[in-house]
Structure formats: structure tokens, C-alpha cells
Amino acid sequence: MRAGPRATARMASRRQHCLLLAAVLAAAVLAPARADEEPAGDGEERAPDAPFDPREAVAKTVAYQEAHPEFAAGIATWLTAGLVLLVTGTGLLLFSEFRAMLVSRDQEFRKRLQEQGYMEEDTDIAKLNAEENVDMRLRPYVSLIGVALIFVGIAALLYPLCDIITVLGLPATPCILIITFGAFFAAICVATFWMFLIWMCTRTAAALVLLTISLSGQLLIPTGNPILLLLWMLLAFGGGWAYFFWLPSIYTERPPWLQDIGNYQMSHEPMEILAAFEGKINAEAARYKPDASTLGAKEDQKSV
């Protein structure tokens, strides 16, 4: 049986109220009310030392939404766009890093077989290595695009909290700045955690470094303490650069605890970036292009 117009409208109203309730609770966590802050919205003074009342906040938000019907629709639009960008960026990052992990593992395995005399490098192996190196050359740009989309997606998901905070009369300055930096740091934590899951079986030591960056960020960033944030930035950027780029340049032979996660060399030259993408396109086109010897064999079979 189909629901009537009233039932449909009632269900839509309930969904909007649930959405607003979730946003109100998130806004309360992002910007808790303090006794010495500015007065609440709609000209109502917030009582000194008054605790945050979720019911009052939801009632105020619902009343505002009823007076402004486009308010909930705007929140839903931001959440939908943020979710799409977040899923797309995560997919790009997982595809790029998983492909890089498989290539690194296969190349190391073939190299080990050659060193032990179980395999000789021929033209087919050299061709395979060249195709895989094309993927590794493109990998850092695809991963970076994925992380950028994750950052924009998280920022879009958090942006409606600024409107909710304003409606509730909570201190909202500088909300956009907080959300921008928070989304940037959160994107790094999310990306490093996914990379830890991908590389933990192939590069255990390097994966633990990525896990340390991710977990430390998840613990220190929500505190909002500038000193702790500075400490995490030094740990994440300085420690990561030292482990993956500086220490490998010092050791002629890498110790077991110093591992890489594949080629991560990037260029800022536009032509070199375009050349990396063009090389991948040409490699894919050549893969599905039949060889002349194969065409000759097919013609011989037809003639017979």
C-alpha cells in the first residue's frame, strides 16, 4: 500500500528533524557554550553557567527550519556533496595504493628469484617491469588527488555545523577556519590509516609509521591545543619525511626497519605531470592493440 500525502510529509519531517538533531549535537561538540560568551540567538540571553540543553537546541533549530524551509535542504545538499567527494577520493586512494603495493611486491619477488638463479630476465620480464613502472610513476598524483577529494569531502560534511552554531547562538568565530584546518588534518589521518591497512602485510615497519601518524592525529587534533597540534605536525610531516625520504638517502644498504612504500617521486613541472598521465594512456592503448605477429598468425589460419 502506498502512503498518503500526509504520511509522506510526516516521514519527511521526521527525517529532517533527525538530521537537525545530529547536526545540533555535532555543533555542541564543536563549539560548547561557555558562560562568558555572547548572548544566544533570537535575542535570548544565555544564563550564566547554564549547561547545554539538547532539547532546547533542537526546538530552536526546528523553529528556525520551519521559518526557513530551505535550511534543511541546504544541509542535506552539503552532506550529499561531501559524502560523494569522500567516497570518490577514498576509492581513488585505495585503487592507487593497492596497485602500488601489488607492483612493489611482484617486482621484489621477481628480483629475488633472479638473484637466486631461478629466473632469467628476458624481454617479456623487461616489458612487464616497464609497464609497472608507468603505473608507479602515475601513482603519487592519483593518490594526491584522492587525498584532496577526501579533504574537500570532509570540509563539505562539516560546513553545515557553522550554520547550526550560528542558529543556536554559540560562538562561531572562526568556524570556517577551524573546519578547514580540521578537515585537512582529518584527511591526513584518514589517508595514512588506509595506507597502513594496505601496506601492513608487505611493509610492516613502514605501515607502523603510517599508523603512528594516523592514531596520534586522531588523539591530539580533537583537543584543539595549539602545542599538541604543533607536536603532531612535527611528528607527522617531519617524522614522515625523515623516515621515507631522508634516512634512505643516508644508508647505502637499508636496515630491515627502514622500508619504502614504492616510488613516491613527484614533479611540480606541468609537462612532466602530463607526461606521466600520457604514458599511462599509451600503455593501456598498447596493451589492447594486437601484435603484428598475432595478426599474421590469424591470417595464416584463415588461409588454411
Closest listed residue to residue 16, CA positions, set 55, 84, 74: 74
Report whether 261 contacts 209 (CB < 8 A).
no
Would you say residue 156 has pLDDT above 80?
yes
**Mind listing the pLDDT tens digit for each residue in 15-33?**
555 555 555 545 554 444 3
pTM here is 0.74
**pLDDT of amino acid 41:** 44
Residue range 295-300: average pLDDT?
Answer: 52
Summarize pLDDT for 124-152 with one digit per residue, the tens. Answer: 777 777 777 777 888 889 999 999 999 99
| pLDDT, greater one: 157 or 70 | 157
CA nearest to 158, candidates 187, 194, 195, 193: 187
